[in-house]
Structure 1
Amino acid sequence: MENFVVSARKYRPDNFKSVVGQQHITTTLQNAIKNNHLAQAFLFCGPRGVGKTTCARILAKTINCENRGEDQEACGTCESCVSFQNNASFNIYELDAASNNSVDDIRNLVEQVRYAPQKGQYKVYIIDEVHMLSASAFNAFLKTLEEPPKYAIFILATTEKHKILPTILSRCQIFDFNRIQVKHIAEHLQYIASQENVDYEEEALRLIAAKADGALRDALSIFDLIVTYSAGKKVTYQETISNLHILDYDYYFKVVDALLAGDISQSLLIFDEILRNGFDGHNFIVGLSEHFRDLLVSQDESTIDLMEVSDEVKARYLEQSRQASQSFLLSALNLANQCDIHYKASKNQRLHVELALMKMAKIPSALQLAALAVEESKKKI
């Protein structure tokens, strides 16, 4: 039986072109290789799972490739590329600073730097989670980082740039990696699903992409989980929200419909159903705030693209946003936000959310009374 390989490893990018959502990084690196403007120390920083270590490995592979193409991509077939792909390259060293963070570890690394590569142009040292190095280890590394041999290139990767000494930062060319956009993650998931012959619903993949919060690795882990849950047949929206324990859009649309109608009873019954299904009241009120925000965004054509949902769901938002006034949405969003802020301090958290829903349900009538009062005052004038 063939061993299962997780998607994050199986579909890990092996060239600049296949890196997802970091074009500003890959283009700069390719131009640096093309124009022979490579720095001797790079710092790749950004959130987890966005491709820092992957880009470091691709850079290391590409600069030692013997037959680079005009687009500055590694050929993948020369001796250097093959040895890299087989994890047998003597020109690339990886150090995990999370577990090798002492002065002695860095001294061993500095000792290795003294020896020129036997074959190939560069020796590349990739130090992952570099912020975990001790202060004394950083100091031991300073001189080598400032004046390395011409054949040595250092690539440091970190999720916490603020923890790195300024003296280290000043010696590196810094690249800030972005959180990957939902649409780019969803498109990549579609590609993987097609490669694995897995049927899918687009909204399910968008939900996985949104849940990953900009980290492609997290999205691929969730995707593997849902595929396993569905026995590799189809990734559906209902199975995804069930497995990830996410509140469906439908609940929020129903709650807002009840609030717009001023129906306190219905809004409380829907909230009770949500609690009985095992969802947390705090998650509900945070999700309701986001729903009000999306409804406000839907009211203006210039901001509607800020919503990262499918066209079908976007149409539902547009329909409901036409029924709600901006005054209602702003007032309800303010109440939801206050409820969110004080939720953890409340002694009776269920009542705290229910009180917020009752106040929201009374907003339409309060707005009507305010409008009548304005009309009456105009008549008197």
Structure 2
Amino acid sequence: MSDTADHDDPFAAEPIERDLDTDDMFGASLPAAKPIEKSEAYTVLARKYRPRTFEDLIGQEAMVRTLTNAFSAGRIAHAFMLTGVRGVGKTTTARLLARALNYESDTVQSSGGRGGPSVDLTTMGIHCQAIIDGRHIDVLELDAASRTGVDAMRDLLESVRYAPVEARYKVYVIDEVHMLSTGAFNALLKTLEEPPPHAKFIFATTEIRKVPVTILSRCQRFDLRRVEPETLTPHLEKICGLEGVRIDADAVALIARAAEGSVRDSLSLLDQALVQGEAGEIVGAEVVRDMLGLADRSATLALFENIISGQMSEALLGFRTLYGYGADPTQIMGDLLEYCHGTSVAKILGADATRMPKAQAMRVTALGAQLSAGTLSRLWTLMLKAFEELRRAPDAPAAFEMALVRLCYAADLPGPEVLMKRLQNGEPLVPGPGGGGPGGGQSVSGGAAQAVRPQVQQVAPKPQTFDQVLTLIAERRDIGLRTDVEQYVRLISFKPGAITFELAPRAPADLVRRLSMRLREWTGERWLIATEGGGGAESVYERDKRENDAARARLKADPFVAKLLETFPGAEITAVRARPQPAVTDITPAVPEDERIDKDED
């Protein structure tokens, strides 16, 4: 096998000596890895755990299913096109295909033959080891980046007409096929159109758009998908178990996310992470986060909430804290873009569609419930513009802070559609004292609106109930505070100016301080906030969850719903919503005019 082919594959070509008692690389029966002696050459994880069967490929179930059915039915294409981003397994799949096409087993010789092509590679065939080692005479693997010309392609095609020496097929594996010249593609075209029965072609590319459509139309195409973090994480955890190393689950999740769908990249990062800690110690999430240069996710999400709430000073201080810990401004802005996208997805499809950890998904879902799609769209546009500015700015931290000022200011402004409606109705563009309207003066705009806003926020009446406290927090658009209060505050007693509650587990350490500070800021009066160790009622989140679970149970008990779930296996009740009540209207029928006349005459 050529060394250059390994750059597009999650696992390398070198054969690894393994216990021959099992062919399952990741099965429970596989013994733990032996300690590496200092004299031995270390084999990186990306090469050590290269898939040996189609079952070992992760995240490519659709392709494996299609190939299995095709081989079983004897409908095997003469050319395959494998495409996808780096490290998803294109070259690995090509080598597995070469083995499958030429698979012959010693176990069936006694029955008069050696079997046909098969995707079941659990038992090593006659040609398998030679193909794995890259020394089989009938399997040629080429790198198109080093042989792009038409002459090289003609020499290659000249050998196609000759029959294989040992195996069933001559298999040509061409990596990065998009690098071929136009002349080389033209030379290849005729052979692909009418190939000899003993020849098979397997192409791999990361740039499918650069491959001529005339070539694509003559190949069976497979798009290898990025491997999602929820699939990649257990794969990495299994490898850690086989290696006998200890690493925190959150650290593995960070690596899976940072790999961006590439199996090879994830294993390279895992290799790097495992040498960060001392021998015998658990590699923690903080260590991996520092290694990757990632900002703390919860702190970045809090920064996003500050932007949404228009809290400029808190946003600037939050960014400076993150930057002080070594977070890259461009990376932070990328995380903010991710949260903006996640909030939009949660608003439309729900928390489960965000592909975020549960705690983060809950917070962005709460944000999505409070923001309009237009606001989220404008924030995305502003953040994307700021992301590009950071790449060109001579001082990235300063550019980030100026972007924060712009984002915080814009997040609290009405959208163009709202302003247009107010103009059409003759209303002030920015409501407030002296803001126009009936009996008012001129509308407030620009810097005057910014000056009026703090004055308006200080005249809020003191809440008389705890529900009014939640309403006030929502009106002030402090989404992070509202989410924490609803989730972690178990109310014990309330009276205007004083709140006593029990904190639910995992509550933020600064919740009491934030709630007290905000209530004093909004009402202009000091509030006494106290906590006790027990005796609190359900939090709003716990109450809503209990009521939702009860409603779900009642719904499942309904005979019609139970029959529906039985009829459609796998169907689930994802949400329970109350049926909208009809509006109460005056249903007194109008008296016909002729009847009113008759009644008056009587």
Distance, in Å, in 2 between the alignment partners of 1:48 and 1:11 is 17
| Equivalent position amino acid for 1:276 in 2 | G
SS of the aligned residue for 1:20 comes to: coil
Matches within 5 A, 1:322-361: 322=366, 325-327=369-371, 331=375, 334-335=378-379, 337-342=381-386, 344-345=388-389, 349-359=399-409
Rounded to whole Å, the distance in 2 between the matches of 1:135 and 1:69 is 36
Measured in 1, the distance between the counterparts of 2:117 and 2:195 equals 29
Partner of 1:175: 222
Contact conserved, 2:138 with 2:164, CA < 8 A, in 1?
yes
How far the C-alpha of 1:330 sits from its partner, in A, is 6.0
SS of 1:73's equivalent?
coil
Shift of 1:243: 0.4
| Cα distance in structure 2, aligned partners of 1:16 and 1:318 | 37
Per the TM alignment, residue 349 of structure 1 is displaced from its structure 2 partner at its CA by: 1.4
Report the residue type matching 2:161 in the other structure.
R
Q: Which amino acid aligns with 2:127?
A: S
Distance in 2, matches of 1:291 and 1:107, equals 52
Give the Cα–Cα distance (whole angstroms) in 2 for the partners of residues 327 and 51 of structure 1. 40
Write out aligned runs for 1:51-66 (5 A): 51-66=89-104
CA contact (8 A) 2:85 2:262 kept: yes
Render the CA deviation track for 1:154-191: whole Å, top value 9, x for unaligned: 00111111111222122212112212212111121111
Structure 1 residues 39 and 203, CA, compared in 2 at 3 Å: closer, same or farther?
same
Residue 331 of structure 2 is matched in structure 1 by: 283
Query: TM-score w.r.t. structure 1 length?
Result: 0.85
**One-letter amino acid of the structure 1 residue matched with residue 269 of structure 2:** I
Q: Deviations over 1:39-66 (max 9, x none)?
A: 1111111211111111111011022111
How far is 1:323 from its partner?
7.2
Greater mean alpha carbon deviation, residues 350-359 or residues 16-25: 350-359
CA drift of 1:336 comes to 5.2
Q: Which moved more, 1:252-261 or 1:58-67?
A: 252-261
Equivalent residue for 2:237, pick from 177, 190, 208: 190
- Bigger drift between 224-233 and 93-102 goes to 224-233
**Which of 153, 157, 162 is residue 106 of structure 1 equivalent to?**
153
The answer to whether the 8 Å contact 1:285/1:336 transfers is no
Whether contact under 8 Å (1:91, 1:117) holds in the other structure is yes
Distance 1:316 1:166 in 2: 43
> Helix, strand or coil for the counterpart of 2:70?
helix
- Comparing 272-281 with 163-172, which one deviates more in the overlay? 272-281
Q: Which residue of 1 aligns with 2:443?
A: none
Do the aligned residues in 1 keep the contact of 2:294 with 2:328 (CA within 8 Å)?
A: no
The answer to whether the Cα contact below 8 Å between 1:336 and 1:356 also exists between their aligned partners in 2 is no
Aligned partners of 2:53 and 2:122 also within 8 Å:
no
Alignment of 1:266-281 (within 5 A): 266-281=314-329
Give the Cα separation in 2 of the matches to 1:148 and 1:361: 62
Q: 3-state SS of the aligned residue for 1:199? A: coil
Contact 1:332 1:363 (C-alpha < 8 Å) held by counterparts: no
Determine helix, strand or coil for the equivalent of 2:145.
coil
Q: Residue 333 and residue 273 in structure 1: after superposition, are their counterparts in 2 closer, same or farther (change >3 A)?
A: farther
Shift of 1:93: 0.8
> Residue 124 of structure 1 corresponds to which residue in structure 2?
171
Q: How does 1:13-24 map to 2 (within 5 A)?
A: 13-24=51-62
Q: Distance in 2 between matches of 1:94 and 1:228?
A: 34
Percent of aligned pairs sharing the same letter: 36
Partner secondary structure for residue 174 of structure 1: strand
Residue deviations 1:313-338 (CA, integer Å, cap 9, x gap): x1354257547752278636633531
Q: How does 1:1-381 map to 2 (within 5 A)?
A: 1-67=39-105, 72-230=119-277, 233-256=281-304, 258=306, 263-298=311-346, 303-310=350-357, 314-318=358-362, 321-322=365-366, 325-327=369-371, 331=375, 334-335=378-379, 337-342=381-386, 344-345=388-389, 349-359=399-409, 362=412
CA distance 1:343–1:153, change in 2 (3 Å): closer
> Deviation of residue 9 (structure 1)?
1.4
- Find the aligned partners of 2:153 and 2:232 in 1 and give their Cα distance: 36
- The one-letter amino acid of 1:327's match is L
Unmatched runs of 5 consecutive residues or more in structure 2 = 1-38, 106-114, 415-428, 438-602
Amino acid at match of 2:293: H
What residue number does 2:493 align with?
none
Q: Secondary structure at the match of 1:356?
A: helix
- CA offsets per residue over residues 205-252 of structure 1, 9 Å max, x none? 222112111111111111111112235653321111100101111212
Distance 1:324 1:94 in 2: 51
Q: Which amino acid in structure 1 is aligned with residue 337 of structure 2?
A: S
Taking a change above 3 Å as real, the CA distance of residues 203 and 329 of structure 1, as seen in their structure-2 partners, is: farther
- RCO higher in structure (CA 8 A, sep ≥6): 1
User: Max radius of gyration: which structure?
Assistant: 2
For structure 1, the residue ranges without an aligned partner over 5 or more in a row are: none
Distance 1:171 1:98 in 2: 22
Change (3 A) 1:329 1:19: same
Q: 1:208 to 1:330 in 2, by over 3 A?
A: farther
* Residue 231 to residue 89, structure 1, CA distance change in 2 (3 Å): farther
**TM-score w.r.t. structure 2 length?**
0.56
Task: Work out the CA distance in 2 between the residues paired with 1:303 and 1:261.
Answer: 22
Q: Which amino acid aligns with 1:306?
A: A
Corresponding position of 2:32: none
75 and 18 in structure 1: CA distance in 2 versus 1, 3 angstrom threshold: closer
Aligned 8 A contact 1:285 1:353 in 2: no
Higher deviation after alignment, 277-286 or 242-251? 277-286
The CA distance in 2 between the partners of 1:210 and 1:274, in whole Å, is: 20
Distance 1:151 1:298, change over 3 A: same
Q: Shift of the alpha carbon at 1:29?
A: 1.2
Structure-2 separation of matches of 1:175 and 1:77: 25
Distance 1:265 1:333, change over 3 A: farther
- Give 1:203 shift: 2.1
Q: How many residue pairs are counted as aligned between the two chains?
A: 370
Aligned-partner SS, 1:143: helix
1:266 deviates by 2.2
Distance 2:369 2:294 in 1: 28
Is the contact between residue 286 and residue 336 of structure 1 (CA under 8 Å) also seen in structure 2? no
**How far apart are the structure 1 equivalents of 2:99 and 2:217?**
26
